[in-house]
Structure 1
Amino acid sequence: MEKLLKVINVSKKYENQSGNALSNISFEVDKGKLLAIVGESGSGKTTLLKLLAGVEETDSGQILLEEKPVTGPSFNLVPGHKQVKLLFQDFRLFPNITLYQNIEYVLRAYSKSFQKERISEMLQLCKLTHLQDRYPRELSGGEQQRAALARALADEPLLLLLDEPFSNMDVRLKGQLKEDLIDIISKSHTTAIVVTHEASDALSMADTIAVIKSGQILQADTPQGIYKQPLSPYTAQFFGTCTIVKAQDLIPYMKEQLQTKKSMPYPKDTLICIRAEHIHLGTSECFHMKATISKISYYGAYYQVVASVDKRLQLTFHTTNAFLSKGERVPLCIDTEAIHYFYA
């Protein structure tokens, strides 16, 4: 697969910060693929996008787009790389001109015939043809986002960067916009990077996910790899409900199963990660321990149950059983094949 973007040991520090905003960031993006950069607020996600777009300088390292350096404002009279488009969550459409004119503006260097043809293509791609004469204020939030996408894609950028594109949207609208975004990016064969703090958005959209924390990439992998083989407790917990316990605390209840899983003794600080969907109510065929239910939360499709085995061991699991009650003592079964280990 052809690599469109290469980020090599990039670091960035701001004068008013004690530590680095980004530290030795490295990753690659294949042409035509979508990368999701996921992390908490303040982790360095937006800073990274600004460096990729060439609107801020790197302190060290290198960013290559089609093997050519992406440089910052000190190298360019007008900040920003011409073939990289950065879309912020406020869309930044020109308010006093129509949707058609917003797209036309980015194509002003081209012939009138090309402009007309390209604008028509973008309006059709983004399902906005019937809204072309409206002003941004007359568009809904979803329509504004599609309009910003149409404008960004009009002059065929090599790389599209989106900063929190679904922020402050209700669940129904976000679901529809996510489908629209994936469809538009796929049909336009655009390489894209989406920044988000929502794990579910990244899992459902991306070809590859990069997890960032405190300015460092903790892991970059496929959505399946991130979810099933996390490299750190932080990544495991960010991408779904899970119980993380010391192996030594679980061994008394599952000694035989854990020894079968790993023949050598566990190091003292070994941690075990068990996702909520891999803990079940016990049966005659599978029983590992008994636990007392301390909390039950209803999530529509399932109940999330917290149960204490002893003072050191508390497990969280999902069930559709609607007849459990707080204080009830229940048998539990753990899917040992799905257990994940973190070695110190």
Structure 2
Amino acid sequence: MFLSVSQLSIRYPGSAQSAVDGVSFGLSAGDIGVLIGPSGCGKTTLLRAVAGLERASAGSILLGGEVVSSAQTHTPAEQRRIGMVFQDYALFPHLDVARNVGFGLKHLGERERQERVREVLALVGLDGLQARHPHELSGGQQQRVALARALAPSPRLLLLDEPFSNLDVDLRERLAHEIRGILKAAGATALFVTHDQLEAFAIGDVIGVMHQGHLHQWDDAYALYHRPATRFVAEFIGHGVFAPAQIRLSGDEVVVNTPLGPLQDVEECPLPSAYEAGLCDVLLRADDIVHDDASAVKARIVRKAFRGSEFLYTLRLDSGETVMTHVPSHHNHAVGEWIGIRVAVDHVVTFERGAGAGAPPAPAVHRTPG
């Protein structure tokens, strides 16, 4: 691993609780990692520790096989050859684009510096704007200048702290895709902090979900969504709810009884013995619930959110349970209306009933449906 963080803890003086507590993960050269989580979860503190701006209380950070942080060792930030892109871009308003981008290239001769500036501006799609000043650029263009400036000295690692938070929502996701392409074209290794899941999914090869200083899971987006490592990850990623359920055997078949009826013929499911009396909470994602007017199960729409091609409906069953579903937007039902739904689950993710945020799911057993 090019970046290796092992059992890292960071505790501020006078604080009873670590801001980062026993975090371990690795990032391969050329990959983009993303740290995501709610405000105050420790993701920015962790990024600052990798940058060399925070000291490790315990554990270690290795960069290219070299220990740069531990309880005994601290390589200063300026010696780590790390580039940073900040939330506010931190561009110099009195300098034009060329001089902003070339700010960290003072060790090069004038001709070499100009060539490198032109090269990185071409990489970010801004070649020809060298003479503009930051106030003459759009927010997205300013973000690209900040990225070009960070890439110009060819850092070993690039760190990006909430770089799109000042941009409008539509631009953020599009720019995340574009910057992913830029970083890949540059062969850069990058670690990115955000609280926005769409940004994380758009830019990251691997994503870490943090909560209260702990890293709950470090995985690709598909695994976070479909195979969450803890109850917190299951709740935080995507749209879904937990419903009370009971797992039982019916002959040789495992059946999961839920408020929407039994889940049957699923590919992966825990055995009833995983829980006392088979009682558990089952994760039901919005894409596990299908709008079906012919279904005997009915639910009342209590909230609807228009998403362009679809609605996200929040529904309440007669039993009082709440579920969510994605429905094509031409199915425009009113709040308060009852609609038919059915459950369509491929694999079952369950947790101990009422378990805390750090609880792992029960292991699922692979079986062939039918």
User: What is the match of residue 11 of structure 2?
Assistant: 13
Structure 1 stretches of 4+ moved >6 Å: 74-77
Q: Aligned-pair RMSD on alpha carbons?
A: 2.7
Q: Bigger shift: 180-189 or 322-331?
A: 322-331
Q: CA deviation at 1:256?
A: 6.6
Show the counterpart of 1:302: 310
- Residue 315 of structure 2 corresponds to residue 317 of structure 1: no
Structure 2 segments unaligned to the other structure (5+ residues): 247-255, 356-370
Task: Tell me how many residue pairs correspond in the alignment.
Answer: 340
1:254 Cα deviation from its structure 2 partner: 2.9
Aligned to 2:264: 257
Identity across the alignment (%): 32
Which range is displaced more, 11-20 or 211-220? 11-20
- Partner AA of 1:297 in structure 2: A
| TM-superposed deviation, 1:222 | 0.8
By how many angstroms is 1:174 displaced?
Answer: 1.8
**Residue equivalent to 1:289:** 297
Q: TM-score if structure 1 supplies the norm length?
A: 0.89
The amino acid of 1:291's aligned partner reads A
- Tell me how far 1:259 sits from its aligned partner: 9.5
- C-alpha deviation, 1:337, in angstroms: 1.5
Residues 66-145 of structure 1: pairs in structure 2 closer than 5 A: 66-71=64-69, 79-145=77-143
Q: 1:56 Cα shift?
A: 1.7
Among 189, 201, 207, which residue is 2:205 paired with?
207
Higher helix share: 1
Q: Which moved more, 1:318-327 or 1:135-144?
A: 318-327
Q: 1:342 aligns with which of 337, 347, 351?
A: 351
Change (3 A) 1:281 1:116: closer
**Greater alpha carbon shift after TM alignment, 322-331 vs 3-12:** 322-331
CA distance 1:259–1:126, shift in 2 (3 Å): closer
Distance change in 2, residues 1:123/1:219 (3 Å): same
* CA shift for structure 1 position 328: 3.7
The answer to which of 292-301 and 114-123 deviates more is 292-301
1:283–1:333 CA contact under 8 A, matched in 2:
no
The alignment status of 1:51 with 2:63, answered yes or no, reads: no
- How does the TM-score come out when normalised to structure 2? 0.83
**1:143-188 residue CA offsets vs partner (Å, 9 max, x unmatched):** 2111111111111111000000110211332234223311210111
Residue of structure 2 in register with 1:34 after alignment? 32
Q: For residues 206 and 67 of structure 2, what CA distance do their matches in structure 1 show?
A: 23
Is the alpha carbon distance of 1:298 and 1:96 closer, same or farther for their aligned partners in structure 2, counting shifts above 3 Å?
Answer: closer
In structure 1, C-alpha distance between the alignment counterparts of 2:75 and 2:339, rounded to whole Å: 68
Of 330, 334, 344, 2:339 maps to 330
Given residue 257 of structure 1, which amino acid in structure 2 is its aligned partner?
Q
Amino acid at match of 2:290: H
Paired amino acid for 2:302: S
